[in-house]
Amino acid sequence: MAVSVVIGAQWGDEGKGKIVDMYSEQADYVMRYQGGANAGHTVWVNKKKYILRLIPSGIIHPSTTNLIGNGAVVDPSALLTEIDELLASGVKFDGRFFISGHAHVVMPYHIEFDKRREALKDDKKIGTTGRGIGPCYIDKAGRTGIRMEDLLDPILLKAKLAEQADELNTKAKHLYGMPNIDFDAILEKFKGYAARLAPFIADTTVIINEAADKGRKIMLEGAQGTMLDVDFGTYPFVTSSNGSAGGACCGTGLSPRKIRNIVGVSKAYCTRVGSGPFPTELKDELGELIRKNGGEFGAVTGRPRRCGWADLVALKYSAMLNGFSHIALTKLDVLSGLDEIKLCVAYKIKGKDTNIFPSQTELLDEIEPVYKSFEGWKEDISSAKRLSDLPKTAQEYIAFMSDYLNTPYCLVSIGSDRNQTIVLEDVL
């Protein structure tokens, strides 16, 4: 079956937007399987910039059907803002955009709880975007969440909110110093949301499985990155969902047997947003230069990203977890002009070298990266059409990465434009 998963292989922001956009053009269906409006893809089409937060990247392409799966969480206000922005750009939604009725709803109190909880942590902040994603997933796991299908029945929605009103108000008052939640105002506002979103709410699990059984080309789109996975990432400095390959099945309702390719997207260097360990971070002028040259600022938050060398130990761990069939390497062009480029090939922990990513997050603060150095290149590589067009030193650099990970490339991106891509293998 022609089902492929595209996953961030690092700490998110790997340039998935461009890769997903390229594959979306070929896909019949694109489905987002986890996360919320805390993620962002920047997509350039015909020199026009689109910032997509929750809506799948295939929405830009008129022949693609786009789905938000049950594993995602939806802020109706943010989603409608995104829809309106795209409508103003000429994008059509009717008949080609659907939201799982089982997707949980980010409620206004989730957003307020998120912000206030983070503020109370002082110097131990996680680095949340404050968009209510974590509290929404907490309610999902606690079986008290509101789902998209609940918006279609105002009486049911009112009853569900009434059931937990006392608990929510106790939390608001005693934990966060908030006034009582105005549930009447929420219900009134959500009537308007429901009126606009009702045509899009559907059983996406049936839709995507029927498409897969018919042999349609399907791409499952992850948010954030593997190293932010709630189970396998650098916990607690992670997101609240499973962005790794396993999450693609749970977040869509597709069987693992229907997935053919799993593409890991990795930068030629590495970045991270917010708090948490980052063994190869460059806290100097070189890190600032990479941030500037790579435009490393969050698509949603605008926050500057922390920059460092590519970490092959972490990438190998990511490849193991996901079972990557291919690597899509991005932003190789950002490294042009550097005299020396480094790759982290091992960690030194308590005086001993290892190439195994430690399961205990606290050990990452004790790591001394072991680097292999490569000669840089001065040439502008943004117009290369084949790997052989790249400078020899660039070829050696990316070949070493592929060999270390024992995973072939499906493409190498050498610029933000779709045409600035060396395509090596079709994965859809």
Query: Would you call 188 exposed, middle or buried from its count of C-beta atoms within 10 A (0-12, 13-18, 19+)?
Result: exposed
Per the document, the length of the chain is 428
Encoding tokens for residue 202? 């559907």
Rounded to whole angstroms, the Cα distance separating 404 from 399 reads 9
Is 397 exposed, middle or buried, given 0-12, 13-18 or 19+ CB atoms closer than 10 A? buried
Query: What's the CA gap between 374 and 269, in Å, rounded?
Result: 13
Cβ contacts of residue 26 below 8 Å, gap of 6+? 217, 426, 428
Tokens of 415: 């610029």
- Rounded Cα distance between 310 and 326, Å, is 17
Q: Which of 21, 41, 139, 326 is catalytic?
A: 41
324 by DSSP, 3-state: which? Answer: coil
How far is it, in rounded angstroms, from Cα 220 to Cα 240?
19
Q: Answer left, alpha or beta for residue 119, where phi above 0 means left and psi between -120 and 50 means alpha.
A: alpha
Helix (H, G, I), strand (E, B) or coil at 90: coil
Name the packing angle between helices 392-405 and 312-322 (round to 10°).
Answer: 50
- 122: annotated active-site residue: no
Closest listed residue to residue 107, CA positions, set 231, 216, 193: 193
Cα 62–chain centre separation: 23
Residue 339 is a catalytic residue: no
Residue 89 near residue 53, CB atoms below 8 Å: no
Tokens of 72: 């995602």
Amino acid identity, position 301: T
Contact in structure between 264 and 7 (CB atoms under 8 Å): yes
The H-assigned helical ranges of 62-121 are 76-88, 108-119
- In contact, 387 and 424? CB cutoff 8 Å: yes
CA gap 258, 247 in Å, rounded: 14
Using DSSP, state whether 66 is helix, strand or coil: strand
- What is the C-alpha to C-alpha distance for residues 55 and 418, in angstroms, rounded to an integer? 20
DSSP bridge pairs for 41: 52
Task: Check 13, 21, 229, 311 and give the catalytic one.
Answer: 13
Question: Which are the catalytic amino acids?
Answer: 13, 41
